[in-house]
A = this chain, B = another copy of it.
Amino acid sequence: MKTIAVIGGDKRQIRLIELLLHNGYKVLSAGFEKAERLPEKTHRASATDAAQAAEIIIFPLPVSQDMCTIHAPYSRYEIGIESLAKSIGEGKIIFGGRIKKDLFGKNRIYDYYEREEFQISNAIATAEGAIEVASRELDTTLFGTKTLVAGYGRIGKLLAKILDAYGADVTVSARKHEDFIWIKALGYRSIDTRKLADHVAEYDLIINTVPFRIFNESVLNAVKNGVLLIDLASRPGGVDFDYAESKNIRFISALALPGKTAPVTAGEIIYETIDHILKEEFE
């Protein structure tokens, strides 16, 4: 029976802890003092004690938002990364989302966020969350709404598919020749991401998935009055936020949606990804 420390995190980690317990691990938790509901069998400990006692340590996604302390919204106390890292010692297996590997010295570090399987599952939860946001914010149906999905990566593909089933009028922007053919093959319209400014005025709903500032001043000057613009790209995001605000464009930066809109699934995704890594590397 292996001991795992779960240090920091939100509702996702609570689901993760349930699954770890269910699968026979002993779980030490740190940073969940304010959580309403933690599985009974969880052992509470300080971050340092948990880290030292466990063979496997799991940090949240992201490990830290401020680069100083562990992301731990349920914690009463700050958990400093550097001091914790020093106390861990050597020879452990450490998991984290977007983890800085060099901080943790002579341990085996795995970033579950980088795994393709995590990315896909996370994209599914993100696409669903984005549509929930759009559906909530729009006073119209998605059916018949002229919609632009900027970017044809994982999230863009899923968004296009679901929005199409809603009967939205879906256009996808992309840059590569082969993407244009796939987009057409799947029944959507396509435009060139490099020519957004020429086309953007047509859309009532725009969802950006591209992690570059493609919604710059000239593109934002061209959007339709009353458009809803949802940005899914990680900071600094794909939209010139200040300019959008100065133009009174209805703009929502929807980050970390899976943790907010589907925390139970998001916790399961983390569990499964870690489980796969453990099986591949240590069995």
In the complex, chain B residues whose CB is within 8 Å of the CB of A194: none
* A147 to B: closest C-beta gap in Å: 13
- Are B139 and A185 closer than 8 Å at their CB atoms? no
CB-CB nearest 3 A-B residue pairs: A165-B165, A139-B264, A116-B178
Interface members, chain A 21-66 (any B CB < 8 Å): none
Given A117-B181, A178-B120, also A11-B167 (CB < 8 A): no
* A266 to B: closest C-beta gap in Å: 9
Number of interface residues of A (CB under 8 A): 44
23 example contacts (A-B, Cβ-Cβ < 8 A) are as follows A116-B177, A117-B178, A117-B181, A119-B178, A120-B181, A120-B182, A128-B135, A128-B143, A128-B166, A131-B135, A135-B135, A136-B261, A139-B263, A139-B264, A140-B265, A141-B262, A143-B185, A143-B265, A162-B165, A162-B166, A167-B184, A177-B276, A187-B187
Interface members, chain A 241-267 (any B CB < 8 Å): 258, 261-265
- Are A141 and B120 closer than 8 Å at their CB atoms? no
Interface members, chain A 140-184 (any B CB < 8 Å): 140-144, 158, 161-162, 164-167, 176-178, 181-182, 184
Tell me what chain A mostly uses at the interface: helix, strand, loop, or mixed.
Answer: helix
- Are A265 and B141 closer than 8 Å at their CB atoms? yes
Given A116-B177, A139-B262, A177-B276, also A144-B184 (CB < 8 A): yes
- Are B135 and A261 closer than 8 Å at their CB atoms? yes
Does A103 sit within 8 A of B, measured CB to CB?
no
How far, in whole Å, are A165 and B131 apart by their CA atoms in the complex? 12
- Are A139 and B184 closer than 8 Å at their CB atoms? no
* A218 to B: closest C-beta gap in Å: 26
